[in-house]
Amino acid sequence: MNIDKEVLDAINEIGFREPTKIQTEAIPLIKEGYDVVGQSETGSGKTGAFGIPLVEKVSKGEGVQALILVPTRELAQQIAVELQKFSRRKGLRVQCVYGGAPIAPQISGLRHAEIVVGTPGRIMDHLERGTLRTDRVGIFVLDEADKMIDMGFIDDIKLIEREIPKDRQTLMFSATMPEGLAGIRDRFTRGAVKVKTETKVSEDMLKQFYCDVERQMKFSLLVHLLNEEDPYLSIVFCNTKREVDLVTKNLKRNGINADCLHGDMTQGRREHAIRDFHDGETDVLVATDVAARGLDFKKVTHIFNYGVPKNSEDYVNRIGRTARAGESGKAIVLLSEEDHPAFRRVMGTYDFEIQQMECNDFKKVPFIRGERDRQGRSGQYSRRGYRGQGNGRGRSFGRRESSNRLENSPLGGYGFPRSNGYMGNNRYGGN
């Protein structure tokens, strides 16, 4: 690929041996100076796809020459670390800027940086303060562009773009590229080359399942599945921050080594949660979709969808946290009545095969929502055998609590004949 020796040596030190598909297609185009719109599945190496040629083009000591916008501080930190690795031999300085952190160290770092990675709000702050100069920026990157639009950053992005020289190279990367981004793409890029690789996770490596369950039994089923599946590391995705907090607290009460991650946590707390999960100090991470984009968690064997996201693309990003780098994984949806519309949208959009998992004979455990609920209930469920607790793994037995509402419906609640599994594109069939 004719990569500069300094950058190639740094790549070899990291341990990269062969480029991914998106890197193979995008890097030569970026090196030649084209604007690029890249779309590929999560975990496919998009940071390397734009980061490697970007580092090649940036020169030491000539001010800020590259600006990368991302939707979350966690992703900003992760990309900054990768770019520092790529540029180690060139001695480039990468400054990461985001809200919720002291601004003084960022201001100091911006004085000497050649590459800046940040969230739109904090970038705007630095532009208004005059602490970030963009007159020498030659490469403008929007990573996870669709997510930034969804999060309401569109106006900030437009204002930032106005401060960047028109004679620049613009790169847009994302796992999904909905039509809503067409206007931004046409406005920010010039003759952009589109690069799209397979966006569907491999069904050879990722197996997907759903379990029918009454709403009031959903948490009990989650505890049961964590016990039975024995995940190495797992992420439980919830649709709201409050639900994340409640599920996390109740998992801990049941002896499960869990932590939470969502946007209302302080930056220090979020970093601590991510670090512990990366290091294996935490077995279960309960999170909103802030953990579904960009974050590179290793060795995640299971994804549990405690709720189904309204946006089908968010479902794809969630399950993409497992079955990465050639490893296998499993994604399980806990499907109660309120999840049916969102689940139908997922199945109508993607050609996934999602098999039904029989989830019977699991014990009901308390789910405490507050102090009043705590005082009004008695008894605690101790999860035996999880992570070395108790005398072996232990399986919980009790009266059958799972819902049979869908089983009793000839259409299974979805307008398709009842069978053993979902097939995508409105196909609903057997094994």
**pLDDT tens track for 168-178:** 999 999 877 76
Tracing tokens 């789910």 back to the chain, one arrives at 367
Q: Is 340 helix (H, G, I), strand (E, B) or coil?
A: helix
| pLDDT for residue 200 | 55
261, containing H or E segment: strand 258-261
Percent of the chain with pLDDT over 70: 82
Per the CB < 8 A criterion, the answer to whether 173 and 197 are in contact is no
Q: Express each pLDDT in 273-319 by its tens digit.
A: 999 998 999 999 999 987 777 677 888 999 999 999 998 888 988 99
- C-alpha distances (whole Å) from 157 to each of 65, 122, 365, 413 are 18, 11, 47, 42
DSSP class per residue in 157-202: HHHHHHTS-SSSEEEEEES---GGGHHHHHHH-SSPEEEE---SPP
CB of 307 within 8 A of CB of 339? yes
Of 42-46, 129-133, 282-286, the one with minimum mean pLDDT is 42-46
Q: Which residues contact 114 (CB under 8 A, 6 or more apart)?
A: 58, 59, 60, 61, 62, 63, 64, 65, 66, 92, 93, 94
| Per-residue pLDDT at 395 exceeds 70 | no
Distance of CA 44 to the CA centre of its chain: 12
CB 369 within 8 A of CB 332: no
Residue 356 and residue 371: Cα distance in Å, rounded? 36
- Asked if residues 292 and 321 have their Cβ atoms less than 8 Å apart, the reply is yes
Residue 376 is predicted with a pLDDT of 43
Please give the pLDDT value at position 94. 98
Per-residue DSSP letter, 276: H
pLDDT of the residue at 268: 85
Alpha-carbon gap, residue 328 to 324, rounded angstroms? 7
The average confidence (pLDDT) of the chain is 84
**CB-neighbour burial class of residue 381 (10 A; exposed 0-12, middle 13-18, buried 19+):** middle
Distance (Å, rounded) from C-alpha 265 to C-alpha 161?
Answer: 29
Angle, in degrees to the nearest 10, between helices 73-86 and 5-14:
120
Instruction: Supply the pLDDT for residue 136.
Output: 98
Strands of 66-69's sheet, edge to edge?
A: 94-97, 115-118, 66-69, 139-143, 169-174, 36-39, 193-196
If you write DSSP's letter for every residue of 298-320 in order, what string do you get?
SS--EEEESS--SSHHHHHHHHT
Q: Domains for the chain: give ranges and CATH numbers.
A: 5-196 (3.40.50.300), 206-429 (3.40.50.300)
Sorting pLDDT into bands at 50, 70 and 90, what band is 28?
very high
Give dist(CA 356, CA 387) in Å, integer. 27
pLDDT band of 386, cuts 50, 70, 90: very low
Confidence of residue 12 (pLDDT cuts 50, 70, 90): very high
Please report the pLDDT score of residue 199 as a whole number.
Answer: 54
Q: Is the pTM of this model over 0.75?
A: no
CB of 283 closer than 8 Å to CB of 233 = yes
